[in-house]
């Protein structure tokens, strides 16, 4: 039973009195039928109208409008046996709704105010009809005309009707949180760990080797960037058996990044984090192509019973994200981005937005890939996209060089820990830099070749700077995608030069060190870009002895170079087959540390 504190519940103990005995506060029914139908009124005022007649002012006990009745003194009426405080009974008029335009989400509250024991009944408008708040009416609900009639008749019938329109929200800018990088992890052809990656970059080493396995015999190109350590040997045996090679890379990189961010080994629970406030966002093109190929071989050799039940879950590109989620007990989300060679960078950008707008507080973001397989190598070779050369005499991958002749297929993983700034500072975390913004675009030009104008790339570059709240003159370094393909490098150089102008912004390209890690390239190169900001040192470009005259960029070669002090943005570029363009913008948050 619903009452306001000012209108307490009233026990009903009817008895008959004469009108002359009625006083203000009495709960009155004019006849036995009214009492039987729970139709009561509070006497708010009485006064003689004549020697034989009393004028009585009545109001519904739960609120409403007043009306007057003339009663003969000797007339018998029914009272409830309890008086009310007249001042506590509200004077309420139901609004006219004839000209009101109803909207789905509006609410109507209807109260039979003449019944002291009545309860409010609320209706919500859904799909053009009014339904009880707690149930879907079987008959299709009440019409707008019914509601308008209720309001029109309410005062006369002793009811109260209230209309609550659905709130109309004013358009406003969403609150945006600043996102920072607090942890780094990498598994690359230079070794396991960000330390091996950074040392190899500064020392000008490369991790490209000749493929020795017999399954690569007969291929026109047999050089690739492979991780020099078996990742399965670095993981518990039972867990490793359920992961494909790309997922193994991802879990190792994620564990390193997690620990580097200052979190406890084991994952969210051991770190005192709510697992639903942490997410995973990884890029991959195929993940690990070898699992499906291996399953097909076993099917042909041994029949259906020879195919492992883990073949399908270990084939999907999302396996790396799901395994990181399982390993660190992350339940907020585990997303996979597949946009060719831009996948890793786009995955980081999407994680930035998930944190910015409050979906999660922490995210592991980057990419993982393991596609150094005979079929993939043969396919790239058929496209004439792979570099040829002897890896023992220097890197066969020669970005921006006059004699570049294609990319080197590689594998690995690179992962960042991203957090909202307030979350990181509240726990006293070490902050590498700000993940300030990102930009996407599409060439809409060709299934494999880049748009030679570089317009799509330029659009992504400008969008990343704008999203970071910066200006072009804030850019102090570009980590180029530069795969060492003839047309791709020129399109990127044209775009970078067009956006940045003729300023001497140092540019480096890391695929001479690493080869092309495909969907993981953006993650690994983002790790390197963060370290460039952190150490204030730009690694050199390996393999480019003689720069193509058409490139016309300030390419860092030979030795590392100090990062310019004026400005604070570093851009990390990733572009993929089909015209996918993604650029990540990173910003210094404090004075750079001494290089080491």
Residues annotated as catalytic (active site), given as ranges: 341, 481, 516
Tokens of 377: 């190598």
Q: Is the dihedral of CA 546, 550, 552, 553 positive or negative?
A: negative
Task: Estimate the share of the chain in helix, then strand, then coil, as percent rounded to the nearest 5.
Answer: 30, 25, 40
C-alpha distances in Å from residue 455, one per residue of 247, 450, 463, 486, 522: 35, 10, 12, 17, 20
Q: Which of 462, 584, 485, 450 is nearest to 528 (CA)?
A: 584
C-alpha distances in Å from residue 295, one per residue of 244, 259, 301, 378: 12, 35, 10, 19
Contact yes or no for 60/118 (Cβ under 8 A) = no
> What is d(CA 518, CA 590) in angstroms, rounded to the nearest whole number?
32
* 506 DSSP β-pair partners: 554
C-alpha distances in Å from residue 57, one per residue of 14, 71, 85, 135, 495: 20, 11, 15, 39, 85
Beta-sheet pairing, 475-480 with 569-576: parallel
DSSP labels for 555-578?
Answer: E-BSS-EEPPSS--EEEEEEEETT
C-alpha distances in Å from residue 572, one per residue of 327, 348, 370, 529, 531: 28, 11, 22, 7, 12
> What is d(CA 186, CA 196) in angstroms, rounded to the nearest whole number?
9
Tokens of 311: 């073949």
Run of H or E residues at 416: strand 412-420
Contact yes or no for 526/345 (Cβ under 8 A) = yes
Run of H or E residues at 241: helix 237-241
Tokens of 438: 């990102």
Contact yes or no for 231/245 (Cβ under 8 A) = yes
Contact yes or no for 312/300 (Cβ under 8 A) = no
Work out the angle at residue 338's Cα, subtended by the Cα atoms of residues 334 and 344, and round it to the nearest 5 degrees: 75
């Amino acid at each position: 039973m619903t009452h306001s504190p000012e209108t307490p519940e009233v026990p009903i103990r009817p008895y008959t009195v004469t009108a002359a005995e009625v006083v203000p506060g009495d709960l009155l029914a004019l006849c036995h039928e009214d009492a039987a139908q729970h139709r009561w009124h509070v006497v708010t005022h009485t006064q003689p109208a004549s020697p034989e007649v009393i004028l009585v002012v009545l109001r519904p006990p739960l609120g409403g409008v007043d009306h007057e009745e003339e009663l003969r003194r000797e007339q018998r009426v029914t009272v409830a046996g309890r008086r009310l405080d007249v001042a506590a009974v509200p004077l309420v008029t139901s609004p006219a709704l004839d000209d009101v335009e109803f909207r789905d989400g509006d609410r109507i509250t209807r109260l039979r105010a003449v019944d002291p024991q009545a309860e409010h009944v609320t209706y919500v408008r859904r799909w053009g009809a009014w339904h009880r708040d707690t149930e879907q009416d079987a008959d299709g609900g009440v019409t707008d005309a019914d509601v308008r009639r209720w309001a029109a008749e309410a005062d006369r019938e002793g009811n109260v009707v209230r209309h609550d329109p659905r709130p109309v929200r004013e358009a406003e800018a969403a609150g945006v949180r600043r996102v920072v990088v607090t942890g780094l992890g990498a598994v690359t052809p230079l070794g396991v760990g960000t330390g091996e990656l950074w040392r190899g970059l500064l020392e000008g080493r490369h991790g490209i080797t000749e493929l020795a396995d017999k399954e690569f015999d007969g291929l026109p190109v047999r050089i690739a960037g492979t991780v020099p350590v078996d990742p399965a040997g670095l993981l518990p045996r039972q867990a490793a058996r359920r992961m494909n090679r790309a997922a193994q890379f991802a879990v190792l990189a994620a564990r390193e990044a997690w620990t580097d961010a200052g979190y406890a080994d084991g994952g969210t629970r051991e770190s005192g984090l709510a697992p639903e406030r942490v997410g995973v966002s990884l890029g991959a093109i195929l993940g690990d192509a070898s699992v499906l190929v291996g399953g097909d071989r076993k099917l042909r050799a041994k029949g259906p019973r020879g195919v492992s039940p883990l073949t399908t879950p270990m084939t999907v590109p999302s396996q790396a994200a799901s395994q990181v989620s399982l390993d660190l007990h992350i339940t907020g989300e585990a997303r996979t981005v597949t946009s060719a060679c831009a996948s890793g960078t786009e995955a980081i950008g999407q994680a930035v937005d998930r944190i910015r707008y409050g979906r999660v507080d922490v995210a592991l973001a980057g990419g993982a890939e393991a596609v150094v397989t005979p079929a993939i190598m043969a396919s790239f070779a058929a496209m004439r996209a792979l570099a040829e050369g002897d890896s023992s005499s220097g890197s066969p991958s020669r970005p921006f060089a006059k004699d570049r002749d294609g990319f080197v297929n590689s594998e690995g993983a690179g992962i960042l820990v991203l957090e909202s700034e307030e979350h990181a500072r509240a726990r006293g975390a070490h902050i590498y830099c700000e993940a300030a913004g990102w930009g996407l675009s599409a060439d809409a030009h060709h299934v494999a070749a880049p748009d030679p104008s570089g317009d799509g790339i330029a659009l992504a570059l400008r969008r990343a700077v704008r999203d970071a709240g910066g200006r072009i003159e804030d850019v102090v370094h570009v980590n180029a995608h530069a795969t060492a393909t003839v047309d791709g490098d020129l399109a990127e150089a044209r775009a970078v030069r067009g956006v940045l102008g003729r300023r001497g912004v140092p540019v480096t390209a890391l695929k001479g060190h690493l080869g092309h890690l495909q969907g993981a390239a953006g993650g690994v190169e983002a790790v390197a870009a963060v370290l460039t900001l952190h150490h204030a040192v730009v690694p050199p470009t390996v393999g480019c002895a003689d720069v193509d005259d058409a490139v016309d960029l300030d390419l860092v070669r030979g030795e590392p170079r100090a990062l310019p002090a004026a400005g604070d943005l570093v851009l990390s570029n990733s572009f993929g087959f089909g015209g996918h363009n993604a650029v990540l913008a990173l910003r210094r948050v404090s004075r750079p540390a001494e290089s080491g």
